[in-house]
């Protein structure tokens, strides 16, 4: 999950942009994926954030317990829901959705807000890191998050990705109106079995209490489709693995 801070490609206007962004939010400072503003320093940079919390994401998905009571995620994705715009926010490529798509988790509705990417993946499954991880970020009326993570492996090219990437490239800070319907169902694996645990946003402010649903089956995209996103995002835009600290991970079985 990514917050909305912006970065100028030259870095020269970084302070100016930060002050503009800071006016519109409580977030201060500027974080990145390397060096003095990298993940090890997020807790210092982002005062008051959860980044040094005990129940953070991402994690390595291991020691999971089968739970036959887990129901399939109730997906209400419609083929008429439009993507409003796509932005390169300096941390990822992010597609912002118009209202319409939602999921139901524990009787609560969570609306799909945005979809973005990490290269390579943030979560690892039994220690395996995938070339790409897609985050579908949903939020409910109380401001709580549920994120669906979809891993992508390299293989045949993906038609939905072809559409999404037709709006690229975008420079950091650049934004493009899409105003086109996108059927999220086409961008998911056929098998909807998942791993579930409770963690956090993987970017500042690293807010905890996030429901994570990580589909077991990856989707397939071409090497070229991975490379296009990779070349537009910071190198290795993933946060390092966080400790489990006693959390249980469950795996569903259809
Ligand atoms: Zn993310």
Which CATH code fits 53-251? Answer: 3.10.200.10
Q: How many A from CA of 67 to the centre of ligand 1?
A: 26
Per-residue pLDDT at 8: 40
Q: How many A from CA of 88 to the centre of ligand 1?
A: 13
The tens digit of pLDDT for each residue in 142-154 reads: 999 999 999 999 9
Q: How many A from CA of 20 to the centre of ligand 1?
A: 23
Q: What does the domain layout of the chain look like in residue ranges?
A: 53-251
The tens digit of pLDDT for each residue in 38-62 reads: 999 999 999 899 999 999 999 999 9
Alpha helix locations (H) across 81-158?
none
Q: How many A from CA of 115 to the centre of ligand 1?
A: 8
In the three-class reduction of DSSP (H, G, I as helix; E, B as strand; rest coil), residue 116 is classed as strand
For the cut 80, the answer to whether the pLDDT of residue 22 exceeds it is no
- Angle (CA) 149 137 199, round 5°: 65
Averaged pLDDT, 11-27 = 37
Averaged pLDDT, 1-16 = 43
Per-residue pLDDT at 10: 40
Per-residue pLDDT at 253: 86
Catalytic, out of 91, 116, 135, 138: 91
Q: How many A from CA of 234 to the centre of ligand 1?
A: 13
Per-residue pLDDT at 93: 98
* Range of lowest pLDDT (24-28, 81-85, 96-100, 125-129): 24-28
**Spatial distance between the Cα atoms of 110 and 145, rounded to a whole number of angstroms:** 7
Averaged pLDDT, 165-185 = 97
For the cut 70, the answer to whether the pLDDT of residue 37 exceeds it is yes
Residue with the bigger pLDDT between 13 and 130: it is: 130
**Spatial distance between the Cα atoms of 202 and 91, rounded to a whole number of angstroms:** 12
Is 91 a catalytic site residue? Answer: yes
């Amino acid at each position: 999950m990514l917050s909305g801070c912006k970065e100028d490609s030259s870095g020269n206007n970084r302070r100016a942009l930060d002050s503009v962004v800071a006016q519109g939010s409580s977030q201060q400072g500027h974080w990145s994926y390397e060096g003095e503003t990298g993940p090890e320093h997020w807790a210092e940079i982002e005062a008051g954030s959860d980044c040094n919390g005990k129940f953070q994401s991402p994690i390595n998905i291991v020691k999971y317990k089968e739970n036959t009571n887990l129901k399939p995620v109730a997906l209400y994705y419609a083929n008429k829901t439009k993507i409003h715009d796509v932005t390169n926010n300096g941390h990822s490529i992010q597609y912002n959705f118009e209202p319409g798509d939602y999921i139901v988790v524990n009787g609560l509705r969570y609306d799909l807000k945005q979809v973005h990417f990490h290269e390579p993946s943030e979560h690892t499954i039994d220690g395996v890191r995938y070339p790409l991880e897609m985050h579908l970020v949903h939020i409910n009326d109380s401001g709580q998050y549920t994120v669906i993570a979809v891993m992508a492996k390299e293989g045949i090219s993906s038609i939905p990705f072809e559409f999404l990437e037709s709006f690229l490239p975008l420079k950091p800070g650049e934004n493009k109106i899409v105003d086109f319907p996108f059927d999220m169902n086409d961008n998911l694996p056929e098998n909807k079995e998942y791993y579930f645990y409770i963690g956090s946003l993987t970017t500042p402010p690293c807010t905890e209490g996030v429901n994570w649903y990580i589909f077991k089956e990856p989707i397939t995209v071409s090497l070229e489709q991975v490379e296009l996103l990779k070349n537009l995002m910071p190198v290795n835009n993933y946060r390092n693995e966080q400790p489990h600290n006693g959390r249980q991970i469950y795996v569903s079985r259809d």
